[in-house]
Structure 1
Amino acid sequence: MSAILSADDLNDFISPGVACIKPIETLPAQSQDNTNAYEVTTEEKAAASQPPPPASISLTDCLACSGCVTSAEAVLVSLQSHTEVLTTLDAHRSLRAPYVPNTINGTNGHSHEGKLFVASVSPQARASLAAVFSVSEAEAGNMIAQLLSGPSGLRAGGHNGSDFTWVIDTNVMREACLVAAADEVATALAPNSANPLSKPGTEGAIDTTPKQPILTSACPGWICYAEKTHPYVLPHLSRLKSPQALTGTLVKSVLAQRYNVSPSSIWHVAVMPCFDKKLEASRSELTSSAWLPNHNASQEPVRDVDCVITARELLHLATARGINFASLPRTPLTETHRTPFPDQKLDAFLFPPSRPTNHDEVAGSSGGYLHHILQTYQAQNPGSSISVSRGRNADVVEYSLVRGPETIIRAARFYGFRNIQNLVRRLKPPKASRLPGGKTGVSRRPGGAAAGAGEGVKEYAYVEVMACPGGCTNGGGQIKVQEVDHVRAQQGLQSTNGDVPAPKPGPKEQKEWLGRVDEAYFSGSDREDEKTHADADEEMRDVGTNNDTCAADMINRISTTKINDIIAHWSHITKVDKQSLLYTSFRRVESNVGKKVSDMERVAGLAVTVGGGW
């Protein structure tokens, strides 16, 4: 278990209903002496025998078990930690372009042990560090890049002097996700859209179209919860990959093709705000088997994201190497320290001259999926306006795009598990009455829901679902208010309260701290607006779009034409279809947890396990 993780730190944690079932029952080891095989063993002899070895549990095992509901990362998340990052850097030398193909072939000493190291950083993690060190989100991003790739960062220490060749802002890939999400919703809701009924067991398949209401799939805590406890919502889940997963797919598919190396020679770490992102990286669907051409089933698939660490773990990473994070330069890396990505078009996309900005506060701190979809529909319906209505609390908000008396589209935002549980209960299909002569498809409304509540939820076209109350800036891996003074003291900085001892922080102080993190998250939006708009016309000229279509094409400062052109180029150079690159699948997770098993079935199962029988 991670040294910095406990259930108390996780605001998306639901206590497991039962103990972990992964450690299987074992029989005592067979005796090697010549004692009678039919002798009855006494309790004293059985107690003296060697105990079975401890079971080995991985994150993949957690995903295949429904014993826990969420936050399964509480079991052995040390497999993905800052220690794993340092161990990998010390075990492999950084491969440098343009000598990568030769070094992989072994013509340059021990080069077969080298790896291409790539990092991606989320804006929420940058905002957490920005609030702690009283800098802007952009400056926090520069400090992270200096740590991971700068001359005074990780390369200054370690066994091999290895560091990360590329540090990618996931805001870039988030723009691709937003455009793809809007396309997915438009396709699914089109009047002539062919949406056949899925076969049993294929409700979450990659080649199926989600049904209304479409639910976001970017939050792994929510996905884990849905797959294990409410599989009936699988047909509603968006098939789109998250920015973390999409970045991993792009990095490994392009580098493997351009340098003619195996995906296993590329090592990708993601800095995220949430511990559940470690679970997402462990999904078997998010591996090279999904996109690698001519993939051999006998080959072990390579994960698109090898390791996920959080903002807190990033500071541990610096401390372990004796680096004072607060003293790192707040300026961007110079061009002399930057290696171009091995494709000119993708290099310009991943590392643009002006930094991609977060959306306005109205879009929220979780990527802005819902906001972008509403803005897309509004651009297609001139004269329409967005009506906002708060629900039972601040984490439930309803949106309607209206034009006069007409309602064009309805959507909603549900954050936090208490609200999510209310949502999924209303989506639960009715059961047929078991009474003789009872009506088919009628059941008591769950949770005492008012009449029409379920139908109202089903009228939503899109629902943005996030496990953490307040959104992704409140992720379990972010730095909490009670940790701020300790972190600052470790970095040689003054406490936020000066020399006055601060009282023990409570929910009020944590809420105020989250407000500061949100302020840092949105800090770059206004400053970058003017520059972004000035570059808009130039971007339109680059993709061949005239001024007449510019207004409809630019949604929230994102060019739909440009993004679609990038995706088409990505698909062309890797020879992988768009579906395999952008989308993924979900599946129902079943287990025997909570099911009654007779003693005879249990004994028979043990007998089969050890090769016995009746």
Structure 2
Amino acid sequence: MSAILSADDLSDFITPSVACIKPVETLPANPSGDNELEISFNSESKPTPAPPAEISLTDCLACSGCVTSAEAVLVSMQSHAEVLSELDSGPALRLCGNTTGTGIDIENLDQGGRIYVASVSPQSRASIAATFKVTEREAGYMIEQLLSGPKGIKNRAVYRNGFQWVVDTNIARETCLVLGAEEVVGSMIAGTGETKQPTKPILTSSCPGWICYAEKTHPHILPHLSRLKSPQALMGTLLKTSLSRTLGISPDRIWHVAIMPCFDKKLEASREELTDAAWEGAGTRGVRDVDCVITSKELLMLAESRKVDFAKLPRTPLPYMPFPEPKLNSFLFPSSRRRRNKVPAAGTSGGNLYYILQYYASRHEGATVETARGRNADVLEYTVTSATGETLLKAARYYGFRNIQNLVRRLKPARPSRMPGGKPIGSARKAGGKATGPDYSYVEVMACPGGCTNGGGQIKVDDPVIIGQAIGEVKPGPQEQKEWLAQVDEAYFSGEESAEDESIPDSRDDVIDGISPSYIKDTLAHWATTTGLDLDRLAYTSYREVISDVGKNIGETERVIQIASKEGGGW
């Protein structure tokens, strides 16, 4: 899906479907104003023009046919231009320590200003790192300098507005890994856990392209989806809830942009389940937890729009104002600035599956993890085996649209036979009535072949910024793109080692793959307590079946695959 959102191949740019579920609701004007049942035959009277249709991005997600059009419009609405427009809309809220040293004062509160915060994904940092030949950590500092530094975008801004905080989504990712592992363990023990458990096998829910595909075309998959929010969504909720509660301001006074490797993340940000209405329990449309998403490629466009030479930005960290909530400050900005993208076996999509395997193996002394390749490089199967050879857990990784199709086909429930006494029909049943679907406990599903570093919003080898660095006039092809992706993957794992990198708060002794589950859970409990909100609302979400005709027409699926192959990455 990421590739489709490039919009190059769309021929129905803003042409609504005849099945649009958001019609213009207008009533005929009353001619006389006296009798509402009176009919006028005056042919000279001009018809009252209908007001323009107002269709929100949330409506577009629930549309019955204009998916490509809606997503193309969404791409244009969430862009670097929107970021600049927002920053120039008025003076930002200024945060400063008060004279008594007991808290934070807010300036410009009466002028309608906002606090600007940004979150950056490690895949986007890797894309920038490969482009400018720096480490992933240095790329993060360059992005921080662009968004908040004196030589960045605020140097030429109308109100000199920049981002108050730039946070690393790896922090939210660590939280998702711990909660995801507990979700899998809970699903294996009936009746456990504080939240309703998904059906086995649990399927990753952090890829929005995959989620949209499941909601629109395979509703039988929805009970299997992990209820966890993605790192992007969880970070948005964390920032909006903690800042609004601590500073005593409305969530709409906080504006959050996320820098992601994938255009589909724009779709995720527009979901009504990911607004303050969800965690406040208001039941009405609210303020988004993530106001705007821009991709790695759009980040360079952001710099170019303000005449900032990205390559010349400092590669050092900026001093920052502490987050107003002390415990969350140490969580969001650990003193060691540690990172966790160090194990290639974890993959470049966050390491959900890898952490679950390590977590489960740590609960069984002597357990080992075995790996087997599936039908291609984007399908891997894993088995956690006890010291005695007993199989404790089976899991798998499915990347790419073709492999996803095979997975959902295997999970499709059997249809009852129309013949009296006949056995169920379908790929999920053997002749003897037993299931042939995968017996996995967990499957990591990602729409992009190769994982998130190959997202549709990443900088490609044929982009001008890359071609300008190349020697010669050879046009990059598929092999060059493959080699380029290897460089991005290498940058993703390029963190410098240091003694601080291995430090864990409070010297916890339950560390698994560099993450302390007890520390994460203590922080989550503190977050829920300080905001007065239930953790189930803060960290979990829901999904719904979307009635859609997309992908059901003969030949349409093949066209989708052709576009994806042409664009590179995505679906």
Query: Is the pair's TM-score, using the shorter chain for normalization, greater than 0.5?
Result: yes
Output one character per residue of 1:34-59: Cα deviation in whole Å (capped at 9) or x when no partner. 9x9679x9xxx9xx999977755442
Give the superposition deviation at 1:67.
Answer: 2.5
Letter in 1 for 2:312: S
Letter in 1 for 2:477: G
Give the superposition deviation at 1:194.
Answer: 5.6
Letter in 2 for 1:487: V
- Deviating beyond 3 angstroms after TM superposition, the runs of 4 or more aligned structure 1 residues are 7-10, 18-34, 36-39, 48-58, 68-72, 106-112, 295-298, 449-458, 591-596
2:91 to 93, 116, 120: 93
2:151 alignment counterpart: 152
Give the superposition deviation at 1:289.
Answer: 1.3
2:558 alignment counterpart: none
* 1:159 to 1:116, Cα distance in 2 relative to 1, 3 A: same
Q: State yes or no: 1:422 paired with 2:402.
A: no
Question: Mean Cα displacement is larger for which, 181-190 or 162-171?
Answer: 181-190
Q: State yes or no: 1:320 paired with 2:274.
A: no
C-alpha contact (below 8 Å) 2:120/2:166 kept by paired residues: yes
Matches within 5 A, 1:204-283: 207-283=195-271
1:353 to 332, 335, 343: 335
Equivalent-residue separation in structure 2 for 1:216 and 1:523 (angstroms): 26
Letter in 1 for 2:519: K
TM-score by length of 2: 0.85
Match of 1:291, SS?
helix
Letter in 1 for 2:460: K
Equivalent-residue separation in structure 1 for 2:18 and 2:445 (angstroms): 27
2:465 to 479, 487, 496: 487
Match of 1:399, SS?
strand
1:363 alignment counterpart: 346
Match of 1:97, SS?
strand
Give the superposition deviation at 1:487.
Answer: 1.6
Match of 2:274, SS?
coil
2:366 to 356, 359, 383: 383
Equivalent-residue separation in structure 2 for 1:74 and 1:554 (angstroms): 44
1:496 to 469, 473, 477: 469
C-alpha contact (below 8 Å) 1:137/1:521 kept by paired residues: yes
Letter in 1 for 2:203: L
C-alpha contact (below 8 Å) 1:94/1:164 kept by paired residues: no
Equivalent-residue separation in structure 2 for 1:344 and 1:176 (angstroms): 18
- RMSD (CA atoms): 3.5
C-alpha contact (below 8 Å) 1:59/1:77 kept by paired residues: no
Letter in 1 for 2:123: Q
Match of 2:222, SS?
helix
* 1:529 to 1:375, Cα distance in 2 relative to 1, 3 A: farther
2:123 alignment counterpart: 124
C-alpha contact (below 8 Å) 2:20/2:64 kept by paired residues: no
C-alpha contact (below 8 Å) 1:218/1:241 kept by paired residues: yes
1:606 alignment counterpart: none
C-alpha contact (below 8 Å) 2:93/2:106 kept by paired residues: no
C-alpha contact (below 8 Å) 2:219/2:545 kept by paired residues: yes
Q: State yes or no: 1:340 paired with 2:322.
A: yes
Give the superposition deviation at 1:367.
Answer: 0.3
Equivalent-residue separation in structure 2 for 1:258 and 1:98 (angstroms): 14
* 1:71 to 1:470, Cα distance in 2 relative to 1, 3 A: farther
* 1:231 to 1:133, Cα distance in 2 relative to 1, 3 A: same
* 1:581 to 1:9, Cα distance in 2 relative to 1, 3 A: farther
Give the superposition deviation at 1:113.
Answer: 1.4
Match of 2:95, SS?
coil
2:531 alignment counterpart: 574
Give the superposition deviation at 1:290.
Answer: 1.8
Q: State yes or no: 1:517 paired with 2:521.
A: no
Structure 2 residues without counterparts, runs of 5 or longer: 33-38, 99-104, 554-571
C-alpha contact (below 8 Å) 1:269/1:305 kept by paired residues: yes
Matches within 5 A, 1:293-308: 296=282, 300-308=285-293
Letter in 2 for 1:397: L
Give the superposition deviation at 1:343.
Answer: 1.3
Q: How many residues align?
A: 534
Structure 1 residues without counterparts, runs of 5 or longer: 101-105, 196-205, 490-494, 597-614
Give the superposition deviation at 1:569.
Answer: 0.9
Equivalent-residue separation in structure 2 for 1:107 and 1:238 (angstroms): 39
Match of 1:443, SS?
coil
2:512 to 528, 541, 555: 555
Match of 1:387, SS?
strand
* 1:108 to 1:62, Cα distance in 2 relative to 1, 3 A: closer
